[in-house]
């Protein structure tokens, strides 16, 4: 019997929900497809149903759920708990998620941006344990970021801070979906790696399927394919140029790298470190540890629980 919190990662593909103790012990969990195409009302209903199921199971064991935290992609108005816009959910416009959930669940709810939640998750239970200033970069299909300074997420004036993937690295570079050209995301994401490989090789890696995946590029590089090796090194360089700026601006203790591209770690990290040492100020560059994330796909869910715990303690 004890007090617990619920953390939810509302992903474009999967909906992950878990019960955690205040010490961060994972007590129960659920995972199911989000089915974002069903529209926001059905997704919110599914989200509510998942939380209710875990909450009721916890209550039967004598636990009390103090708060619920939800990590959601997109622009979040933190205080009101409104999802303003979300790249994974095109029909979400100013969805009052906190209000909707609180009405049904009868517990305080807090909404946080998913990348910020992932950073808090790694800080609480993963690669950032005991670290008060750290930056998380998630290298997936795109590049996400969360900046924790002195134990607080840096939200910025509009709640839009931490968009590390959209710092300009190449003034007239590849066109990004954000409207800008030459964003870090266009070079250091899975999509960027695939594009670089296509450009460098002039042909798809898997010609039968006509499609190249980032995993195939890592595999080719491990097998000694010179083009793939070069592609991964230049990706590592781009990442290092971006991180060198982050180090000069924020002087973090640690930078944690997550997302699927982490699977290619040995193929890019040396180039990344070289670029950091070349470009950043020596003292912060030497101090900053660059580490892979530890929680994998659970970081957002666990971080959302951390935000819920903070809310519960403030009540």
For Zn ion, the binding residues (CB under 5 A) are 166, 176, 178, 180, 183
In the bound complex, what is the minimum distance in angstroms from residue 287's beta carbon to Zn ion? 29
Residues 6+ apart with CB under 8 A from 51: 6, 8, 17, 68, 101, 105
Determine contact, residues 137/166, Cβ cutoff 8 Å: no
- CA dist., res. 170 & res. 158, Å (int): 26
In the bound complex, what is the minimum distance in angstroms from residue 132's beta carbon to Zn ion? 29
State which residue, 17 or 189, has the beta carbon closest to Zn ion: 189
State which residue, 192 or 303, has the beta carbon closest to Zn ion: 192
In the bound complex, what is the minimum distance in angstroms from residue 87's beta carbon to Zn ion? 11
State which residue, 62 or 179, has the beta carbon closest to Zn ion: 179
SS3 155: coil
In the bound complex, what is the minimum distance in angstroms from residue 176's beta carbon to Zn ion? 3
State which residue, 182 or 284, has the beta carbon closest to Zn ion: 182
- CA dist., res. 196 & res. 228, Å (int): 9
State which residue, 166 or 191, has the beta carbon closest to Zn ion: 166
Helix, strand, coil percentages (3-state) for the chain, rounded to 5, are 45, 25, 30
- CA dist., res. 134 & res. 236, Å (int): 20
In the bound complex, what is the minimum distance in angstroms from residue 220's beta carbon to Zn ion? 27
């Amino acid at each position: 019997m004890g007090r617990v919190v619920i953390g939810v990662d509302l992903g474009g593909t999967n909906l992950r929900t878990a019960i955690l103790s205040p010490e961060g012990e994972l007590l129960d969990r659920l995972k199911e497809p989000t089915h974002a195409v069903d529209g926001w009302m059905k997704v919110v209903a599914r989200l509510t149903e998942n939380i209710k199921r875990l909450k009721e199971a916890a209550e039967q064991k004598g636990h009390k759920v103090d708060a619920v935290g939800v990590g959601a992609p997109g622009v979040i108005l933190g205080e009101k708990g409104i999802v303003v816009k979300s790249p994974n959910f095109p029909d979400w416009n100013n969805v009052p998620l906190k209000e909707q959930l609180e009405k049904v669940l009868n517990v305080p709810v807090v909404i946080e941006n998913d990348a910020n939640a992932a950073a808090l998750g790694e800080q609480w239970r993963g690669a950032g344990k005991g670290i008060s200033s750290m930056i998380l970069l998630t290298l997936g299909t795109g590049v996400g970021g969360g900046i924790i300074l002195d134990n607080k997420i840096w939200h910025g004036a509009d709640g839009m801070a931490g968009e590390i993937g959209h710092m300009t690295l190449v003034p007239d570079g590849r066109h990004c979906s954000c409207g800008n050209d030459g964003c870090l995301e266009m070079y250091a994401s899975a999509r960027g790696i695939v594009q670089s490989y296509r450009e460098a090789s002039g042909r798809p890696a898997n010609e039968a399927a006509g499609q190249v995946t980032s995993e195939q590029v890592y595999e080719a590089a491990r097998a000694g394919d010179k083009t793939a090796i070069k592609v991964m090194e230049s990706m590592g360089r781009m990442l290092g140029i971006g991180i060198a700026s982050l180090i000069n601006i924020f002087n973090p203790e640690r930078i944690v790298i997550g997302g699927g591209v982490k699977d290619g770690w040995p193929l890019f990290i040396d180039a990344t470190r070289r670029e950091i040492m070349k470009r950043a100020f020596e003292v912060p560059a030497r101090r900053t540890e660059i580490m892979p994330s530890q929680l994998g796909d659970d970081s957002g869910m666990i971080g959302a629980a951390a935000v819920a715990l903070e809310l519960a303690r403030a009540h």
